[in-house]
Amino acid sequence: MRVMMFLPALTEATSPLFRPIKYSLFPPLGLATLAGYLPRDWDVTLHDEHVERLDLDRAETPDLVVIQVYITSARRGYEIADHYRARGSHVVLGGLHVTSLPEEAAAHADTIFLGPGEDTWPVFLADWRAGRAAARYTSKARTLVGLPPIRRDLIARHRYLVPNSIVVSRGCPHHCDFCYKDAFFEGGKSFYTQTVDAALAEIDRLPGRHVYFLDDHLFGNRRFAEALFDGMTGMGRVWQAAGTVDSVLAPDLLERAVGAGLRSLFVGFESVNDANLADQRKRQNIGRDYGAVVRRLHDAGVMVNASFVFGMDDDGPDVFDRTVEWAVGQGIETATFHIMTPYPGTALHRRMAADGRILHSDWDRYDTRHVVYQPRHLTAEQLESGYWRAYRDFYRWGAIWRGASAQDTVRGRARHLAYAGGWKKFEPLWDLAIRTGRVLHALPLLETVLAAFGERRATASG
């Protein structure tokens, strides 16, 4: 059997002039995971349009085509699907967007998958081989027990800065109104993990030192997280992950993670306005001392990648400058800004649609960089211009130097400059590395910078 698996490029990643490094960070683990269920004697290829050009007309006609669809890749995903259906392939679509808008997706597929595929994908494969594949498979049973090893042999490692990405859990225990993934896990468990032994075995199979956990909330199950970190201690890994403000403040959990090699954490602060947090059901952030979160991470030798969302209903024109000033003053190494986006299938979208505030359904623009709804205390123009200004102001050399000065050692200031400056100020070099297929050559530098961060903890406690 011939199987082709596709991750269509997000609209914002297709510029012919410039390729931001963030679109060449991680390989398509979801598809590589599904490929693990396929017989080894099948001819299977995995294509990520973020890192390679696709010439569909020159490609062979496979028996089965599998496409993972996000909202801003939907248009392109449907183009690929229609192309191969016309050539006689059996086309299946899955992913966040398909689950949110199944009827839209079904018009372009022979089979669609709603929700995660660990339980439904093996059933489909048996049905398809028997000639009785259904038009729709809906996930109900949620478990990662018995998950086959990820087909990492299908991944072109040299095309990614972080080929050692990994996911050891699914979903999140929290339910924020704007979260796109709530709809994806509807109808079953919304958060579940691998066994610790299986997760450690997968980590052990990864070459090199660096690991990036793509889990939405690696710390979401404390018992699992503690056992995982204890098992990783002594492996010599340096790793990055995502966690919440309450997990950072939890006693002893961060220390275990740092002892196992944690060096950088993505934290969803989301808003400097407390009223916004209640409106969006971001309860895990309400009443938390954000400054204490940053200090705790920095004192442990962990870099902070802070996430903020602009355009919530209590945001006014001053929110951009206030957010940037706070983040720079705290010495946060990197920041990610977003315009609030009411994704279909979320509680936020339902509420805004009922109020007549959704401006359009052009999915290409649902990229957290464009305004697709009517803000309450801002104009759409103010929101978009403020978003871009926040990025410019946070990553100005003056702001990077000021953020570095918040570090209390020369080594800490040097690390801050290397990481924050390297991430944004050398984008033309990243673009060149992407186009020449040499992104992976930068990984040793990333490992060196990350490894240096953990030294601060030993100094502080020594």
Instruction: Specify the higher pLDDT residue, 68 or 181.
Output: 68
Residue 169: closest CA among 93, 97, 227: 227
Q: Which residues, 6+ apart, have CB-to-CB distance to 227 below 8 Å?
A: 196
Place of tokens 């969006």: 280
pLDDT single digits (tens) 309-330: 999 998 999 999 999 999 999 9
In this prediction the pTM is: 0.90
Measured CA to CA, the distance from residue 220 to residue 171 in angstroms comes to 9
pLDDT single digits (tens) 240-253: 999 998 899 999 99
pLDDT score at 414: 80
Please determine, for residue 301, whether its predicted confidence score (pLDDT) is greater than 50: yes
- The rounded percent of the chain whose pLDDT value lies above 90 is 65
What type of residue sits at position 226? E
pLDDT score at 439: 76
What type of residue sits at position 434? I
What type of residue sits at position 436? T
Complete domains list, the chain, with CATH? 2-138 (3.40.50.280), 161-457 (3.20.20.70)
pLDDT single digits (tens) 59-72: 789 999 999 999 99
Lowest mean pLDDT, pick from 111-115, 223-227, 230-234, 298-302: 298-302
Judge contact between 409 and 332, C-beta under 8 A.
no
Please determine, for residue 453, whether its predicted confidence score (pLDDT) is greater than 90: no
Mean per-residue pLDDT for 438-444?
A: 76
**210-213 sheet: strands from edge to edge:** 165-166, 210-213, 238-243, 262-270, 303-310, 334-339
Please determine, for residue 456, whether its predicted confidence score (pLDDT) is greater than 70: no
